[in-house]
Structures are given as structure tokens and as C-alpha cells.
């Protein structure tokens, strides 16, 4: 009897997921696991936009309540509470009984996530979707040992922080993920949650963090010789980003940075392997509790009214006014052109600027482009996917946008100047003689990423 | 019979952007809209014969006047181009459009670019609120008052309440619909904001009162934005159509327009309308003039409206002033779902000023471009199915300067 029951259930489930009805499924109840964490409450608030019931679960009901309070403060609406119930993992089985979507956002460690998934597997409804917000752990590794039904309904849904502001979202399939589930999640998140969805491969760091943290880490490496203040100025907002690289690392946290680059370094050796090695000074300082903004000290710090900056060689902070930056007239010129919307001329100025500092800035940007274009076919099928996640997830000028603004030949010349490999995609475009635009103009306004400063 | 004025398309900047955070000059906004409009239409800079700029208060927000001259800076080919700037508070964009279309009707020019622009995030909310106060009679209605405009449009709600009765839940529904529509518009400022009917009805720390009955959710936004459109004579439109292998008839025209200016002070307007069933009769006359010029009987000939919802009360007023309901019964259209996307007469499919944003001098031009998108079936996610004729209503001050266009094919 039991067997028969299971196989009937299987047949029904398969009929649901294989037919177009799979796309019509309704999400009435979402359960958030780890609702007290930043990604947990942020995502939870987002789901209340679309689902009538969202359960916030954490290790204790008090923690879940705290998550709800944070969710309300984040989206600035007390109405979030009308759609949210809170509870602890003690209630897991009862809460999952009628859950349509189970969204996992617990600590970013395999050994924490896996046992929770085992419990979920044992009590989830057989057609319930399970999504993880992991920012780079392997979807297949997370699903290891789980039932076939679980694995078919399991996918990565990687929101960036804070999800109410940053809309770029990575959708990651495991080997066993049902394509109909993926398609459903893609449409649901785009239509109901306002997400810009990008399908990415189950590779370490997926697409955004793989490429983004490569650049961040290289800047951290270079700051050992050149200092954080100069590096953040050289790869500053004028190169196409809202926040300079080292201030970004301070914001996301040094420990998070370490977890991401170590994962990529260990599991995805590539042509730029060395640039993903965590600088030794960062490793030492993390052990000493330097974690960026959340610990009060990172590349930058404040001591009362005094603004401090890290000296990576001595591994100590110094008053910012003691650091004398060289004259960087080319950056001022570029910023002045950005300010009036002359982005192409500005970036021509970037390509042609003379001196060691301009070369250093070009080396990092060329490294970004070379690395991103090498990843086409590995992390995303097309450059468009990488462009969209760098724009909508990182708020950076996308590789395709920089290629179009600088010109493909100029970008190739920048790569040669920095002794970087020319990616096949660029090689082909150049040798065909027919260089079309790389960036889909509908993806973004051209100028928004070039900040005049 | 006036000569036809065609619309050849245009470009809107993303109203969610904060150009001060990008550390940009207002010229960058203007340049993106003008260059974007040229790429969107394939019109070359050399073909443009004249330009009109709509802008409310760059002197205050950006310490910069003479914006007509800044148009020339948006492309190297524009040196020598005749240009000018027009101001009528929040109706500045429509006044620029009226001037451009009058020139085309008069046969002076065949192809005109109209650019509406405002950069507002250069100052704090309260400072900006005071600047907006100059759209009223500043000395009598705004001086020394925090956020004078929400208070004035709160009074519009109070007047409705006095004459006909008004429930806040209907204003909340207007807000919720505009925010919901904005989610479908990739250029809308609030497309990712957290909003729903419950929130719009809430009266708490997250939806505080701004002035009188006006709460945060009743307000349009402080927005940086620019929009450019091309207006053309039949001659230029014919050439444009031939170049693209499309029939002239497929290009939208301005079929009708209305334009009236009431007395400045809100109390004077209300006193004058005491014997009228319409709270703002000059707004009503603006709309009926546009209908008459378009040779249409009434609102039943319209497929959708882009109206001036600077506050929910102004959209509430627009519903009966357009004749969707008898005067004072706007709530009926709201309750019946008529003004939502998919309803009988959708209002602000773009999200309007509340959802899409309100860069003051750009709004009238944005409305016309959205009307163009609707009737050419290019509005994407916020398309009104089968739309052939759209009306706009753009208002400066507390119902002071009103302009309406009827756009159709």
C-alpha cells in the first residue's frame, strides 16, 4: 500500500511539473529558514510582496521576531507583519506541511545547511520547491544525499544584499533540477518580486561573485604595494562603479570576502588563478578580528573624528591625512567628462592616459574584462548574462558596456599592455573585422555606472 | 483647420537614477535624453531644426538658468540651432510642447525636439519643498510653510469632502494602482518600492502625514529625469515614414489640445468654482477643449489617460473632470476597477507621477511620450491592449496652469 501510495504521488507530481501547470503553480505560503540573518529577513520581506503567508523561522522564536523587526525596518512598512508568522525550527515539520516554497538562508556553510535540508527532505510536501540563497556553494553538493524529489525541486536563488534595493538575482540549477521548476522560479521572481534574473552555472561563486571578487581581490593584493587609498582612487567610481573596491570589501565583510575567494581559488583554477589568492596580510588581520565595517576596522576605520586607513605592510592603521596621493590629473579629466555625460570621450581619456598609475588602473580594468569574457560558456551561456549580473547585482559598468564605450580594439590593446590573455570572444570579434556592439542597449542606460568622481 | 503635428518618438531616462549621487551636471541628463531620442528614432542631429526645453527651476535646484542654450551643448551639430526654455511650474513640459507644435502648425519649422528636464535631488527634501512652493503664490501661500504643496492638495481633498464626501481608502487605492503599474515600467522610479493598499491606508511612522490629509503614500516623488520627443510637420513625418517603409498613418498625431490658466491662489480658484459642479472648472475646460479639437464627443473615445497625480487628490479630481463619472463620484470608477490597467479606462499605466516619478519640467513630455508608446503598441509591460487614442493632463501649481493633449493615430 505504502509503495502504491508513493508511486501515485510521484505520478501526480511528475504530471504537475512536466505540464504547463507547473508554471501555473501558486505560491501561497513561503517558509524562510534563517529569517534572522541579513539575507533571511531581506528576502522574507521581498516574498511578502507576492505571497499572502510567509513564515519566518530561526533557531528561536525570539530570533525570528527580531528578523521580522529588521524586515519591517528595511522596507519601511509595518504591513509586512500582517503577512508574516514567526517560529523556531522546533516547528519545522508543522510549518512545512503546507509550504509551497522553502527558502533557505542559514549560515553559508555546508555543514550547517546540509542537516537542515535533511530535515526538510523528510517533511516537505512532495511538490514544494526548495531554494537556497547561497552565494557560491555548490548546489549539487548541498543536495547530496537528498531524495530524488528534493533534488528535482531544488535550485539556487541568489539574491544580492539588500534584496529590496539590488534586483540582480542568480538562478542556479543542480544536475537534477527539473527545468520546469527553474522556469517557474525565473518567471515568478521576475514578475512577482521584480527581479532581474540571470541563469548561471553551478560553478564556485557562480557568475557575479566569481568575476566581482576577482577584481576586488586583485585590488586588495595591489594595495599591499600601493596602499588602499591610492588603489581605491585608481579603481574608483569613475571606472564604472558606485563604491570603490576596498570600501566594497569593508562593506561585505572580510570574512565573507575570504570565503568567496578561497572557494573560487580552491575549486576553480583558471587563467587568473594567482589574482584570487587571498593576500597574506588579510588572512592575518582576519584572525585578529579585522572584518571590515561590522568590526569597526577594515581598509578604512574611524577613531572618534579621525579617519584612518590601513597600512597593509605594517598591518596597522594610520591617519588618512598622513597619506599623500600622487597627482592624478587624468582622473579629474575623466570625471569632468563624465559629469557632463561625455562618457565615450572620458573612457578614451582613460585608455590614452600616460604614467604608471594610469597603467595600473588599466591593468585592473583590463583584468576585469579579460576575466569576464573568459567566463562566457563557463558561468553563463552568453556575455549578456554576465553583463546583467555585474550591472544589476554589483552596480558596476558591465563588461559589455565597457567594451562598447572603450572600443573592442582599445580593450584588446589594454589587455596586451597588461600582458593578459585575449579572450576568444574578443579575438573572434576582432578577427572577423565586424565588431558589433557587445551590450544589449535595453539592459541599461549607458551613463549610470560612470560616476563623476 | 490647423496643420497636423506628428510625434516621431523619443526617449526617457530611468527615473530611479539619482544624478547627484552620480555627481552629474544637468547637462548629462539633457544629453542622455536627446542622444537617446536620436538613437531610438534614427533621427540625425542635422535634421533637427529647432528645440524647446521645458524646465521649472534649474536656477534654484542647480544654480543654472538659460537651459535653452544648454540644449546646444548636447550635440556638436547643434551650434547655431534656435532654442528656448519654457516655464509653467509642473506644466513646463507641456508648455514647451505647445510652443513647438504651434510653430509646426504655423509652418515655421518641420522637425522640432522638445526636451523636458528637472534635476531635483541636489537639495534636501525640505529645501526642495520650499522651491516647489514658488509654483504657488509664494508670499501668500508658501512662505514659512513646510511642504506647502501637500497642504494645498490636501485642501483639494477637503473641498471634495465638503461638496461630495471623500474617503481616504479611495485615495489609497489610487496610490496602490499607480505603484502597481510602476512595477511594470522599467523607467519608473518606484518600480521596486514596497507598497500595497494596506500600506497606503496605514497611518503610522512609515506612512506619516505630510500636509492635511495627504500622507507619504499620497505624494508623487522627488525625481531626477529628462525626456525628449520629436514633433514633426506632415512633410517631415512623411519623409520619416518613407525612410522606414511605414505608412504615414501609422505615426501618431496630436489630435487635440487644451490649455487654460486659472487664478494662482487655491482659495481664489475654489471661490470661483462655487457655482460649478467641477471643483476646478478651468481644468475641465482644458479637457473639453482638447476633446473638441480632437473631434471626439467625450472620454468614451479615449483608451487610456496619463494624468497629473502630483497627489492622489489630483488624480481623484481628474477622474470626474475627464467625465469618467459625474462630478463628485470619482470613487465609483475606482471601486469598479475601471482605472486600473485592464479596466475600462486605465489611468496612468506608466505609474504616473506617484509611481513613475515627477521630474517637474519633464513630466508633460513624459506623458506625451507614454501616450506615443501606448498608441504605437510599444509600452511593453504597461501596454493598454489595443490602445488607439490616449489623453494627457498636465497641471502646474494648485490646478493653475492646465494642458491636455489627445494623441492618436
pLDDT at B406 over 80: yes
Q: Residue B194 and residue A76: Cβ atoms within 8 Å? A: yes
Question: A308 vs A228, A274, A282, B318, CA distance in Å?
Answer: 11, 29, 17, 56
List of chain A residues whose C-beta atoms are within 8 Å of the C-beta of residue B208: none
Distance from CA of B50 to the nearest CA of A (A): 22
CA pair distance B374, B384, nearest whole angstrom: 6
pLDDT at A10: 47
Q: Residue B32 and residue A445: Cβ atoms within 8 Å? A: yes
- CB B220 within 8 Å of CB B354: yes
Cis-peptide, bond into residue A162, ω within 30° of zero: yes
- CB A374 within 8 Å of CB A270: yes
Q: Which tops the pLDDT comparison, A21 or B218? A: B218
Question: For residue B220, which phi and psi values (nearest 5 degrees)?
Answer: -75, 180
pLDDT at A443: 60
| Burial state string for B108-122 with b = 16 or more CB within 10 A and e = fewer than 16 | ebbbbbbbbbbbbbb
CA pair distance A175, B291, nearest whole angstrom: 61
User: Which residues, including other chains, have CB under 8 Å from residue A307's CB and lie 6 or more apart?
Assistant: A300, A301, A319, A320
List of chain A residues whose C-beta atoms are within 8 Å of the C-beta of residue B27: 340-341
- CB B17 within 8 Å of CB B57: no
Question: For residue B229, which phi and psi values (nearest 5 degrees)?
Answer: -135, 160
Find the closest chain B residue to A165 by CA distance.
B192
CA pair distance B52, A365, nearest whole angstrom: 40
Find the closest chain B residue to A453 by CA distance.
B23
Angle, to 10 degrees, between the axis of helix A399-406 and the axis of helix A356-374?
A: 130
Interface residue B76 vs chain A (CB under 8 A)? no
CA pair distance A145, A271, nearest whole angstrom: 33
* Model pLDDT for residues A44-68, shown as the tens digit of each residue: 999 999 999 999 999 999 999 999 9
- Mean pLDDT computed over every residue of chain B: 97
Find the closest chain B residue to A73 by CA distance.
B206
pLDDT at B1: 63
Read off the pLDDT band of B379 (50, 70, 90): very high
Interface residue B107 vs chain A (CB under 8 A)? no
- Domain chopping of chain B, boundaries: 6-123+222-244
Q: How many CB atoms lie within 10 A of CB A326?
A: 11
Find the closest chain A residue to B202 by CA distance.
A79
Read off the pLDDT band of A7 (50, 70, 90): very low
- CB A109 within 8 Å of CB A136: no
pLDDT at A444 over 80: no
Question: B307 vs B169, B264, B314, B403, CA distance in Å?
Answer: 20, 20, 9, 10
CB-nearest partner of B24 from A194, A446, A452: A452
pLDDT at A3 over 60: no
CB-side neighbour CA atoms (13 Å) of B182: 28
Read off the pLDDT band of A374 (50, 70, 90): very high
pLDDT at A414 over 70: yes
Q: Residue B183 and residue A82: Cβ atoms within 8 Å? A: no
- Mean pLDDT computed over every residue of chain A: 93
Q: Which of B 189-248 lie inside 8 A of A, CB atoms?
A: 191-192, 194-196, 198-199, 202, 204-207
Choose, out of A167, A341, A395, the residue to mutate when testing the contact with B (most B CBs < 10 Å): A341
Question: Is residue A257 within a helix (H) or strand (E), and if so which, with residue range?
Answer: helix A254-267
| Burial state string for B246-270 with b = 16 or more CB within 10 A and e = fewer than 16 | eeeeebbbbbbbbbbebbbbbeebb
Dihedral angle over CA of B119, B226, B351, B408, nearest 10:
150
Interface residue B72 vs chain A (CB under 8 A)? no
Q: How many CB atoms lie within 10 A of CB B197?
A: 17
CB-side neighbour CA atoms (13 Å) of A290: 20
- What whole-number percentage of chain A has pLDDT above 90? 90
pLDDT at B50 over 80: yes
pLDDT at A437: 81
Question: Is residue A432 within a helix (H) or strand (E), and if so which, with residue range?
Answer: helix A424-432
Distance from CA of B170 to the nearest CA of A (A): 18
pLDDT at A20 over 50: no
> Can you say whether residue A38 is alpha, beta or left, with left for phi > 0 and alpha for psi between -120 and 50 degrees?
alpha
Q: How many CB atoms lie within 10 A of CB A24?
A: 9
Distance from CA of A404 to the nearest CA of B (A): 15
CA pair distance B322, B298, nearest whole angstrom: 8
Find the closest chain A residue to B18 by CA distance.
A448
Coil, strand or helix: which one is B406? strand
- Regarding the domain delimited by B6-123+222-244, which CATH topology (the fold level of the hierarchy) does it fall under? Peroxisomal Thiolase; Chain A, domain 1 (3.40.47)
Distance from CA of B27 to the nearest CA of A (A): 5
Distance from CA of A74 to the nearest CA of B (A): 10
End-to-end CA distance of chain B: 17
Q: Which tops the pLDDT comparison, B46 or A435? A: B46
Cell of B308: 497629473
CA pair distance B29, A453, nearest whole angstrom: 17
Which DSSP category does B218 fall into? G
CB-side neighbour CA atoms (13 Å) of A236: 22
Q: Residue B206 and residue A45: Cβ atoms within 8 Å? A: no
Question: A15 vs A19, A20, A22, A354, CA distance in Å?
Answer: 6, 9, 8, 64
From chain A, which residues contact B within 8 Å (Cβ)?
Answer: 45, 49, 75-80, 82, 164-165, 167, 194, 242, 335, 338-342, 441, 445-448, 450-453
Question: What are chain A's domains?
Answer: 2-200 (3.40.50.720), 208-432 (1.10.1040.50)
Strand ranges of the sheet holding A316-319, from the earlier edge strand across to the other edge: A300-303, A306-311, A316-319
- CB B387 within 8 Å of CB B304: yes
Q: Residue B32 and residue A341: Cβ atoms within 8 Å? A: yes
Read off the pLDDT band of A438 (50, 70, 90): confident
Question: B181 vs A445, B195, B320, B355, B409, CA distance in Å?
Answer: 21, 11, 21, 7, 24
| Burial state string for B79-94 with b = 16 or more CB within 10 A and e = fewer than 16 | eebebbbbbbbbbbbb
Report the candidate in A95, A113, A105 with the shortest Cα–Cα distance to residue A36: A105
Q: Residue A447 and residue B32: Cβ atoms within 8 Å? A: yes
Read off the pLDDT band of A6 (50, 70, 90): very low
Q: Residue B22 and residue A452: Cβ atoms within 8 Å? A: yes
- CB B179 within 8 Å of CB B348: no
Q: Which of B 155-184 lie inside 8 A of A, CB atoms?
A: 183
pLDDT at B371: 98
Residues in chain B: 409
Find the closest chain B residue to A80 by CA distance.
B199
Choose, out of B14, B21, B24, B179, the residue to mutate when testing the contact with A (most A CBs < 10 Å): B24
For the entire predicted model, the pTM comes to: 0.95
Q: How many CB atoms lie within 10 A of CB B276?
A: 12
Cell of A372: 569576464
List of chain B residues whose C-beta atoms are within 8 Å of the C-beta of residue A165: 192
Using only the alpha carbons of chain A, give its radius of gyration: 23
CB-nearest partner of B22 from A80, A82, A451: A451
User: Which residues, including other chains, have CB under 8 Å from residue B314's CB and lie 6 or more apart?
Assistant: B153, B156, B307, B308, B395, B399
- CB A65 within 8 Å of CB A75: no
Question: For residue B34, which phi and psi values (nearest 5 degrees)?
Answer: -70, -50
DSSP codes of every residue in A155-217: EEEEEPSSTTT--EEEEEE-TT--HHHHHHHHHHHHHHH--EEEEE-SSTTTTHHHHHHHHHH
* Model pLDDT for residues B244-274, shown as the tens digit of each residue: 999 999 999 999 999 999 999 999 999 999 9
- What whole-number percentage of chain B has pLDDT above 90? 99
pLDDT at A446 over 70: yes
CB-nearest partner of B28 from A167, A341, A441: A341
Q: Residue B28 and residue A194: Cβ atoms within 8 Å? A: no
* Model pLDDT for residues A379-408, shown as the tens digit of each residue: 999 999 999 999 999 999 999 999 999 999
CB-side neighbour CA atoms (13 Å) of B317: 31
Sole residue written with cell 495627504: B214
Find the closest chain B residue to A74 by CA distance.
B194
Distance from CA of A446 to the nearest CA of B (A): 9
Specify burial of residue A313 (Cβ count, 10 A radius: 0-12, 13-18, 19+).
Answer: exposed
Amino acid at each position: 500500500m505504502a509503495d502504491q501510495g508513493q508511486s501515485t504521488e510521484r505520478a501526480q507530481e511528475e504530471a504537475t511539473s512536466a505540464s504547463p501547470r507547473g508554471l501555473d503553480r501558486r505560491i501561497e505560503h513561503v517558509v524562510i529558514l534563517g529569517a534572522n540573518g541579513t539575507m533571511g529577513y531581506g528576502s522574507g520581506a521581498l516574498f511578502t510582496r507576492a505571497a499572502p503567508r510567509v513564515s519566518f523561522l530561526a533557531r528561536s522564536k525570539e530570533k525570528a521576531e527580531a528578523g521580522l523587526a529588521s524586515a519591517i525596518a528595511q522596507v519601511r512598512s509595518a504591513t509586512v507583519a500582517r503577512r508574516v508568522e514567526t517560529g523556531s525550527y522546533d516547528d519545522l515539520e508543522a510549518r512545512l506541511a503546507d509550504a509551497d516554497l522553502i527558502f533557505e538562508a542559514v549560515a553559508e556553510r555546508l555543514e550547517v545547511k546540509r542537516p537542515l535540508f535533511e530535515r526538510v527532505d523528510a517533511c516537505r510536501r512532495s511538490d514544494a520547491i526548495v531554494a537556497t540563497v547561497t552565494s557560491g556553494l555548490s548546489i549539487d553538493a548541498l543536495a547530496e544525499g537528498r531524495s530524488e524529489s528534493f533534488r528535482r525541486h531544488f535550485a539556487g536563488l541568489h539574491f544580492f544584499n539588500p534584496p529590496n534595493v539590488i534586483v540582480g538575482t542568480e538562478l542556479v540549477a543542480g544536475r537534477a533540477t527539473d527545468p520546469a521548476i527553474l522556469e517557474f522560479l525565473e518567471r515568478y521572481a521576475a514578475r512577482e518580486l521584480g527581479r532581474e534574473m540571470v541563469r548561471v552555472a553551478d560553478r564556485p561563486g557562480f557568475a557575479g561573485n566569481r568575476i566581482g571578487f576577482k577584481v576586488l581581490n586583485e585590488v586588495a593584493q595591489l594595495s599591499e604595494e600601493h596602499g588602499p587609498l591610492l588603489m581605491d582612487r585608481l579603481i574608483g567610481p569613475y571606472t564604472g562603479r558606485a563604491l570603490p573596491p576596498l570600501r566594497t570589501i569593508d562593506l561585505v565583510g572580510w570574512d565573507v570576502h575570504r570565503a568567496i575567494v578561497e572557494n573560487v581559488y580552491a575549486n576553480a583554477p583558471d587563467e587568473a588563478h594567482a589574482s584570487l589568492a587571498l593576500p597574506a596580510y588579510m588572512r592575518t588581520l582576519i584572525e585578529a578580528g579585522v572584518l571590515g565595517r561590522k568590526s569597526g576596522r577594515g581598509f578604512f576605520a574611524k577613531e572618534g573624528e579621525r579617519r584612518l586607513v590601513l597600512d597593509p605592510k605594517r598591518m596597522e592603521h594610520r591617519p588618512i591625512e598622513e597619506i599623500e596621493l600622487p597627482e592624478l590629473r587624468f582622473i579629474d579629466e575623466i570625471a569632468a567628462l563624465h559629469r557632463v555625460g561625455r562618457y565615450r570621450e572620458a573612457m578614451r581619456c582613460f585608455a590614452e592616459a600616460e604614467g604608471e598609475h594610469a597603467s595600473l588602473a588599466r591593468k585592473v580594468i583590463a583584468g576585469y574584462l579579460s576575466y569576464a569574457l573568459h567566463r562566457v560558456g563557463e558561468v553563463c551561456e552568453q556575455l549578456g548574462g554576465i553583463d546583467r549580473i555585474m550591472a544589476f547585482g554589483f552596480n558596476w559598468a558591465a563588461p559589455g558596456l565597457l567594451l562598447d564605450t572603450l572600443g573592442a580594439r582599445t580593450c584588446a590593446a589594454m589587455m596586451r599592455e597588461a600582458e593578459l590573455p585575449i579572450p576568444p570572444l574578443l579575438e573572434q570579434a576582432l578577427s572577423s573585422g565586424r565588431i558589433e556592439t557587445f551590450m544589449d542597449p535595453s539592459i541599461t542606460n549607458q551613463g549610470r555606472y560612470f560616476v563623476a568622481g | 483647420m490647423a496643420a497636423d503635428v506628428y510625434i516621431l518618438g523619443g526617449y526617457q531616462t530611468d527615473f530611479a537614477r539619482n544624478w547627484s549621487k552620480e555627481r552629474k551636471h544637468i547637462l548629462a541628463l539633457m544629453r542622455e535624453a536627446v542622444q537617446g531620442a536620436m538613437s531610438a528614432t534614427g533621427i540625425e542631429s542635422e535634421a533637427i531644426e529647432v528645440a524647446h526645453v521645458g524646465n521649472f527651476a534649474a536656477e534654484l535646484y542647480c544654480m543654472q538658468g538659460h537651459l535653452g542654450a544648454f540644449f546646444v551643448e548636447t550635440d556638436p551639430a547643434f551650434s547655431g540651432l534656435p532654442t528656448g526654455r519654457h516655464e509653467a511650474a509642473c506644466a513646463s513640459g507641456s508648455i514647451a510642447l505647445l510652443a513647438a507644435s504651434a510653430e509646426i502648425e504655423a509652418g515655421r519649422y518641420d522637425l522640432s525636439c522638445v526636451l523636458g528636464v528637472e534635476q531635483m535631488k541636489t537639495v534636501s527634501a525640505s529645501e526642495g519643498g520650499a522651491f516647489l512652493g514658488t509654483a504657488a503664490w509664494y508670499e501668500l501661500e508658501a512662505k514659512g510653510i513646510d511642504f506647502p504643496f501637500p497642504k494645498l492638495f490636501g485642501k483639494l481633498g477637503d473641498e471634495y469632502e465638503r461638496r461630495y464626501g471623500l474617503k481616504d481608502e479611495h485615495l489609497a487605492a489610487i496610490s496602490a494602482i499607480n505603484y502597481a503599474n510602476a512595477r511594470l515600467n522599467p523607467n519608473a522610479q518606484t518600480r521596486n518600492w514596497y507598497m500595497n493598499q494596506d500600506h497606503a491606508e496605514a497611518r503610522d511612522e512609515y506612512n506619516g502625514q505630510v500636509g492635511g490629509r495627504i500622507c507619504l503614500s499620497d505624494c508623487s516623488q522627488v525625481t531626477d529625469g529628462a525626456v525628449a520627443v520629436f514633433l514633426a510637420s506632415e512633410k517631415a513625418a512623411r519623409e520619416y515614414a518613407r525612410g522606414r517603409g511605414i505608412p504615414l498613418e501609422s505615426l501618431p498625431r496630436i489630435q487635440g489640445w487644451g490649455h487654460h490658466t486659472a487664478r494662482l491662489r487655491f482659495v481664489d480658484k475654489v471661490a470661483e468654482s462655487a457655482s460649478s459642479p467641477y471643483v476646478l472648472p478651468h481644468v475641465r475646460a482644458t479637457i473639453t477643449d482638447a476633446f473638441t479639437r480632437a473631434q471626439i464627443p467625450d472620454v468614451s473615445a479615449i483608451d487610456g489617460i496619463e494624468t497629473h497625480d502630483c497627489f492622489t487628490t489630483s488624480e481623484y479630481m481628474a477622474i470626474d473632470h475627464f467625465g469618467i463619472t459625474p462630478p463628485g463620484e470619482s470613487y465609483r470608477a475606482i471601486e469598479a476597477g475601471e482605472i486600473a490597467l485592464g479596466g475600462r479606462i486605465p489611468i496612468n499605466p506608466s505609474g504616473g507621477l506617484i509611481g513613475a516619478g515627477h521630474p517637474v519640467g519633464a513630466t508633460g513630455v513624459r506623458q506625451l511620450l507614454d501616450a506615443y508608446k501606448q498608441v504605437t503598441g510599444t509600452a511593453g509591460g504597461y501596454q493598454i491592449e489595443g490602445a488607439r487614442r490616449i489623453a494627457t493632463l498636465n497641471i502646474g501649481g494648485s490646478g493653475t496652469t492646465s494642458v491636455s493633449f489627445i494623441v492618436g493615430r
